[in-house]
A and B are shown apart, each in its own frame.
Chain A
Amino acid sequence: MNKTFISFFTFVGTMLGFHYVLFPIMDIREFSWVMNRYVYYILIPITLIVVNIGFRLKPPISLIALMVWVLGYYFYDAILFPPIPWTLFITYMVMWTIGTFLYISQDANTFREFRAPIVKTIIGEYKIARIVVFALLPMLVGFVTYNNIYPKFQEPVELRTVHPAPPATTKVHGKTWALETARNPYRIDNQDNYKNSFPFLDADKNEYMKNVTEGGTIFFQECHYCHGDQLNGLGMFSHVFNPTPANFIDPGTIAMLRESFLFWRVAKGGPGLPNESTPWSSAMPPWEEHLTTEEIWKVILFEFWYTGWHPRTFDTEESYIGQWEKEGKPTGAYSG
């Protein structure tokens, strides 16, 4: 039998065997460095390489390209967990396809070798292949068409801007805050200086932890139902909302933002979002109606302390830390 066919059937067999036999064994729920789906996945190309080299099958480049492409597809479709959205899947596959193409077209010889079976199929040198391909192609087109036309009942995707640009100023409790310069009045020191003290436990030992504790208290009274008791956006009500509540642990949320941005978001809530962020589809209430300005700042302080992120600052802005101490007792509303 032709070595190419052997290689091809080995590939198909390996994929099926791995997927239906080894995958259920290795994909266990508990985290393990060895028994997990990513280690399982790495075993597939290793097996294919060993088999093909071991039996000296020397598959043609078109078959190698097919294997590479299918392995990419398999990774994004079945291995990467949790499953990624369709739009991202398509994007990744486009990348992978381009990569595969770069691989086969890296020089004139490999590209000629890759084209050879295609050309032979088209001109009829591979008669059976030609019949199969030209019979399957219309069916494939028909299938795709059917899939596209078949009515679906899910909501359409929307391009929602998660972090819209803030306005230049915002008015909270009668005071106008310039977001470019507004600072958290309770950030009296760098939070790294309090690594060994904890809110609630050390609330009475220093001023900073007292404020963090107060912020934490408000968070667990008001916010954790949606944002979660671990601040990961998985609160008990989070699953009924679209969009889901923000996950503060993620490096892409509060870690990227200034405290004044958060102040604006918390104070104005969903209804205060600009149109690009679909204010009608956010359930967050405007907290200025329920909390005082001081409480909002303290909650923000707690969120950064708990997650370990530092608020975004620019260049010399660290200098504002401690400014409150110089200026005396905080009034709660400091607009720089």
Chain B
Amino acid sequence: MLGKQTGRYQALSLAMVMAFAIYLLPAFATDALAKEAYAGQAFAEEAFAKEVLAEEAVAGGEGEGESEIEWGQDVFYKDWEGNPLKGPVSGFPAPELGPSDYNNYEFAPSRMILWMAAQQHLYFGSFVLAVPIFCMLIEFIGIRSKESDPIMSVKYDRLAHDLMKISLTAYSWTAILGGILLFTFITLFPGFFKYIAGIFRPVMHIYALMFLAESGILYVYYYGWERMSQDPFLKWIHVSLSVLLNLVGTVLMFLANSWATFMQAPGGIDEQGRFLGNIWHVIHSTLWNPVGVHRILGNIVFGGGIVGAYAAYHYLTAKTEEERAHYDWVCYVAMFICIFGLIPLPFAGYWLMKEVYAFRQQMGITLMGGIMAWLFIIQAVMIGLLFFGANSYLHNGMSRVKGAHRYMKYSKYMILLLIVCFTMWMTPHTIVMTPAELKAMGGAQHPIIGHFGVMSAKNTAVNLMITTTILCFLLYQKANKKITVPWQTIGNCWLSAIFIGAAANIIFLGVYGYYLPANIRVGLSVPQVTTTLTTLFVGTAINTSMFKDAETYGEVQWGTMSKVGTYAIFLLAISFTWLMGLMGYIRSAVRLFWHVTEVMRDNSVDAYTLTIGEAGKMLTFNTLFVWVQFVVVFWVASLTGKKEETVPEPQAVPVPAQQQQ
């Protein structure tokens, strides 16, 4: 796929699966439903606490006959019988904030300043978390291909090193933005921050220490690159360092996530906001797992988009053929990883929304049917653009592969399917219309397209869109292969059967959903998602197995990517940046007038919900601002790159999957 030999397909698949296993492990190690999963543990803890209490009562009973421990009821966790879990009160209640708890500047509302600071930090944070994932994968592939294709191996290694160089600059930038965010909290929202810091005191210290560990590993990883490349054993140690780096980075992100998820759906405290003695309950509130998984996948797509855009810019401005070929290839690698993250991303989003609904119906409705609903429509449009961008890139990418003409005739049908699904996907439940139009339509719901406004239709549409993208990708893989395995007819039949069967199953489940109660209907998304992921894994497995001893129609002509395909990468990167800001805003703003939902009220003058237009302006500003910073970071990184130009480069142009064999 990214390398020269068929063996690399397996290497890449293995790397992908391993990477995902590692990153998703912290989240999936525990059950999705914190409420249920920890009931047992909480029950044991409570029993233990009661024992201690009894002992204390016995001990103290000799004197006063009464315990001094006060017990509070958890706002979220429940015991086996469904009663609120009890815990010893170990903190102060959430304060009622007044004017003295908020500071502001003349030039802008505090909330906007905080929003900007948080968003910029998050953008950079996700970039620096994503790049090491890339580096790990690319370096791993480089090591695996060292014997079979030394030239490509060097190319991979250099690419990983170059990406890390950019990440290093971005890393310190992220830390600075984090500092700005912290100071913004302390100076503008001191009352709120005092409370949060009181609850998360140990977590914040662990976070700081983890940051230290991350920095240490990062510096050893980057500065030890050349030295550790000399020896094969040391090289493996080096790539292991990247695994460690990513693990620490993931833990860092999960720790920081806990603050946000606690604010949105608190646990581990009582109704007054008093800490009940179990820090794990506070960290592991109900949204912690889905937010974590969603962010990991989002980071991968975001990082892929940025690296892709960086390479696309260099591709368009390249002076020499070699340069064009190189950056075309880098674009491809970045887009490959980006699309790989994009495919499961909507599923993680569904999981998150399901947990939000389960936490509070009110919050779910505010998001999907209430004042945030229009922002979700905008989100649907943006997600559609991402899929269009990804598919457009694949279609255009195919045209530079010899032998692709066999499959390119199917592109138009895939586009048609994408458009039909997307139309269904973004048809709003509540349509904006004038009274005259409403009368012409005969009611608020359209008899045909009205059916597209509910989840059954939307799930079906998005699964079909993803399946189409997978199909497109498989065809891209096959583009220049002349399959020679004896079972190619059977293999192709299986592939066709998988895709046709998947489409039929997805559509059937979608239609069937209209006949089921809502709580069961929600469950149908699981087989739909499973179907889609089956096409991804089984389809890719069969497809790559068929490439054994395959002949080639010709080489991929790197450096001949069409401009439209290259611009699609920019579209993807910018759309994703905007989309990330949008969804972050929605997730945060759904707390409405609460700092911590139902526990700590936001009494500042900024406790209002922005109009869609105002929110849009802020999002656009944040997007532009962060991209200006990215450009600066790339420029700074390129300053060191210029010195290294004296190092002789490998002469060969990367040899891609399509020309292998």
Contact = CB atoms under 8 A, between A and B. Distances in A.
**A and B from one complex:** yes
B435 A242 contact: yes
Nearest to A254: B518
Given A180-B361, A256-B454, A106 B434 contact: no
B443 to A, nearest CB: 5
Contact of A243 (B391, B408, B438): B438
A238 B395 CA distance: 50
Nearest to B365: A165
Given A105-B396, A165-B370, A251-B454, A85 B518 contact: no
Contacts, number: 200
Interface stretch (A10-18, A155-163, A200-208, A209-217): A155-163
A296 interface: no
A40 interface: no
Interface string B406-436: 0010011001101100110011111111111
A124 interface: no
Q: Is the interface of A mostly helix, strand, loop or mixed?
A: loop
Interface in B358-402: 358, 360-363, 365-366, 369-371, 373-374, 384, 388, 391-392, 395-396, 398-399
A243 B431 CA distance: 12
B396 A107 contact: yes
Interface stretch (A93-101, A287-295, A326-334): A93-101
Interface centre among A83, A85, A95, A165 (most CB of B within 10 A): A165
B447 interface: yes
Interface in A51-79: none
B616 interface: no
B108 interface: no
A85 B434 contact: yes
A312 B519 contact: yes
B449 A165 contact: no
B412 A252 contact: no
A163 B369 CA distance: 5
Contacts of B52: none
B442 interface: yes
Contact of A180 (B360, B433, B454, B564): B360
Given A108-B396, A157-B433, A242-B438, A84 B519 contact: no
Nearest to A238: B443
A106 B439 contact: no
Interface in B46-60: none
A246 B654 CA distance: 62
Contacts of A253: 445
A2 B436 CA distance: 46
A188 to B, nearest CB: 16
A269 interface: no
B611 to A, nearest CB: 10
A163 B361 contact: no
B517 interface: yes
Contacts of B639: none
A244 B443 contact: yes
A151 interface: no
Given A155-B434, A251-B514, A162 B443 contact: no
A332 B456 CA distance: 34
Interface in A109-162: 109, 111, 154-162
A80 interface: yes
Contact of B446 (A82, A96, A164): A82
B518 A312 contact: yes
Contacts of A81: 448
A20 interface: no
B519 A87 contact: no
A86 interface: yes
Given A102-B415, A161-B370, A315 B441 contact: no
Contact residues on B (Cβ < 8 Å of other chain), bracket: 35 or more
B371 A161 contact: yes
A1 interface: no
Contacts of B447: 82
A313 B519 contact: yes
A318 B520 CA distance: 11
Residue from A91, A103, A251 with most neighbouring chain B CB atoms (10 Å): A251
B114 to A, nearest CB: 24
Contacts of A19: none
Interface in A278-336: 309-315, 317-318
A165 B371 CA distance: 8
Nearest to A168: B362
Given A154-B436, A161-B430, A95 B423 contact: yes
Most buried by A among B398, B439, B446: B446
B111 interface: no
B148 interface: no
Contact of B441 (A82, A250, A252): A82
Nearest to A164: B370
B451 A251 contact: yes
B649 interface: no
Contact of B365 (A84, A163, A252): A163
A134 B388 CA distance: 32
B440 interface: yes
A9 interface: no
B97 interface: no
Nearest to A152: B434
A166 interface: yes
A261 B433 contact: no
B502 to A, nearest CB: 22
Contacts of B365: 163-166, 261
Interface of A: 80-88, 91-92, 95-96, 98-99, 102-103, 105-109, 111, 154-168, 179-180, 232-234, 238-239, 242-244, 246-247, 250-253, 255-256, 258, 261, 276, 309-315, 317-318
Given A155-B434, A165-B362, A251-B450, 10 more contacts: A80-B449, A85-B432, A95-B419, A157-B434, A159-B612, A242-B435, A243-B444, A244-B443, A261-B361, A313-B519
Interface of B: 357-358, 360-363, 365-366, 369-371, 373-374, 384, 388, 391-392, 395-396, 398-399, 408, 411-412, 415-416, 418-419, 422-423, 426-451, 453-454, 456, 514, 516-519, 560, 562-564, 598, 612
A-B pairs with lowest CB-CB distance, top 10: A310-B517, A107-B399, A85-B433, A99-B419, A108-B562, A163-B369, A165-B366, A312-B518, A85-B437, A106-B395
25 contacts: A82-B447, A85-B441, A88-B431, A95-B426, A99-B415, A99-B419, A102-B391, A102-B395, A106-B415, A107-B395, A107-B562, A154-B436, A155-B434, A161-B430, A165-B370, A180-B362, A232-B443, A239-B439, A242-B435, A250-B450, A251-B451, A252-B454, A261-B365, A276-B371, A317-B519
